[in-house]
Structure 1
């Protein structure tokens, strides 16, 4: 419980001597392309089975097929479609094609897509049916031919992961010691020690950790599972699989202090470029979890990405609760002693 008293180095606080610098992730969502390479690399390296709760079917609201983090989804790429014009369309930057000509072209293309009349495009050439899918922009319903395709939207994509909190409630409540703090400052589950009690599941303020479900062929069924930040790879001096696979460097791995500096520079760059809504999430050592080992640059409010706006370690009040309980117990014992001595007189 001493971890709850204030910001500190988590590895040395856990008893590691001469621990290396704390390792973590900085995820820059502004350059995430939603390729899911991180999800695939994580599953392949860590032998994480397919999520039987989500399956492989689409969720019906986006291109997402995993839904959320869980025992069998340690990296989750969120696809968020917003009814907001992207980039220069909002800013009206010079030399950016946002004038009437662009709008007219979009309208003509939309009318052509709905009616099949190509004359308004300046050509009477008949389209050749190649057997390919129809022209359907995101947001357009195939069964409503009278609807104009949506064009004023943007995608927000973000690869979510366990935050490896400085003050980790999952670790605090684990009764078996299955969850432990590594020398790199990360939080890892030991499969052979976890008894599947599930206390850690409601303790996590981010809803990350969960018990795995599956049939008898599935590994670690009933055991709490989450991202380990590729503890085995760290020990060998390698980069975690997800960061290694990311093609745009949206997922950046390194020393947490250095990543925080890098994130501050990136945030300033975006603000100067006219993206005032950009913000950092989880990097502050003074926040409710003592700062996250995996933090993010977001382009909207945390709630848009399914993140709590002000996460607080759920075991924060335990020390004061124990002190209050001890005080109450002491008062009861004192009262009982006074009553006992009074009777003897």
Structure 2
């Protein structure tokens, strides 16, 4: 079990199969953390979404993905209807439109096990907390922006108003007070679940198995595997389609994975150059 001192690693498991797109998590995140508005309430023109992506002013983003349903009738099979996932009928956008299904997912910083943003930060502004999460200390951030391209998920961003980098802190202040993050607290369907990461992984495995047995073979976990390119995510997801459908990279890799080898080669090269210069200098003296 991943632990930091006496504290087990904490994280999020987001079950998109029960997300209803209410955006309560977005509102709670902004309200608790004092995150500024991100361009008003106008829709983007491509969906019912009005935030579009994660950024310095959007630490939680609920994606709305509209898809044509795969017709079983066209395949000569009886249409048995959608499986009962235990989701309440709350009037989600487009639910009455024939041939359309909605995929909704509340995205957030992944709090990677191998976090490239930590590797490249020159000031120590980004640090790993006792809960295993990754947080930006705003009073230390100098706005260099190195962390922005380092993130394989495109999560962290500089805020235009002051130039510093901002992202989800997993409500570090609330965790220190023994409270769950604001987004998980506000989620009405428990789509966002907070707890010890190892327990969340076990719970997620059971949920996927249940969905498979219920006739939802496309259910899969994203960011759960500790052997993936970032060592597993501290915030991982249950998806009902390929990651790209939700705007997630299919095979994220820590962008600083080659740095140790690069520094080693640079050191060998530098030593070789120094030796050559020394030999040349001694040769001239002779």
TM-score by length of 2: 0.90
Match for residue 32 of structure 1?
19
| Greater share of residues in helix | 1
| 2:136 counterpart of 1:189 | yes
Assess if the C-alpha contact under 8 Å between 1:86 and 1:153 holds in 2. Answer: no
| 2:158 counterpart of 1:158 | no
Alignment of 1:54-73 (within 5 A): 55-73=40-58
| Post-superposition offset of 1:86 | 8.6
| Post-superposition offset of 1:151 | 1.4
| 2:245 counterpart of 1:258 | no
Q: Identify if the C-alpha distance between structure 1 residues 300 and 194 changes in structure 2 by more than 3 Å, giving closer, same or farther.
A: same
| Post-superposition offset of 1:271 | 1.0
Match for residue 133 of structure 1?
none
| Post-superposition offset of 1:338 | 2.4
Assess if the C-alpha contact under 8 Å between 2:94 and 2:101 holds in 1. Answer: no
| 2:270 counterpart of 1:329 | yes
Point out where structure 1 has 5 or more consecutive residues left out of the alignment: 1-7, 13-17, 98-136, 140-148, 215-220
| Post-superposition offset of 1:19 | 3.4
Q: Deviations over 1:274-325 (max 9, x none)?
A: 1111110001111111110000000011000000000011111110000000
Alpha-carbon distance between aligned partners in 2 of 1:256 and 1:89, rounded to the nearest angstrom: 43
| Post-superposition offset of 1:343 | 3.0
Assess if the C-alpha contact under 8 Å between 1:86 and 1:154 holds in 2. Answer: no
SS where residue 283 of structure 2 aligns? helix
Q: Identify if the C-alpha distance between structure 1 residues 160 and 87 changes in structure 2 by more than 3 Å, giving closer, same or farther.
A: farther
| 2:129 counterpart of 1:226 | no
| Post-superposition offset of 1:222 | 1.6
| Greater share of residues in strand | 2
| 2:121 counterpart of 1:174 | yes
| 2:221 counterpart of 1:280 | yes
Structure number with greater Rg is: 1
Alpha-carbon distance between aligned partners in 1 of 2:187 and 2:74, rounded to the nearest angstrom: 28
Point out where structure 2 has 5 or more consecutive residues left out of the alignment: 83-92
From 244, 263, 283, the equivalent of 1:303 is: 244
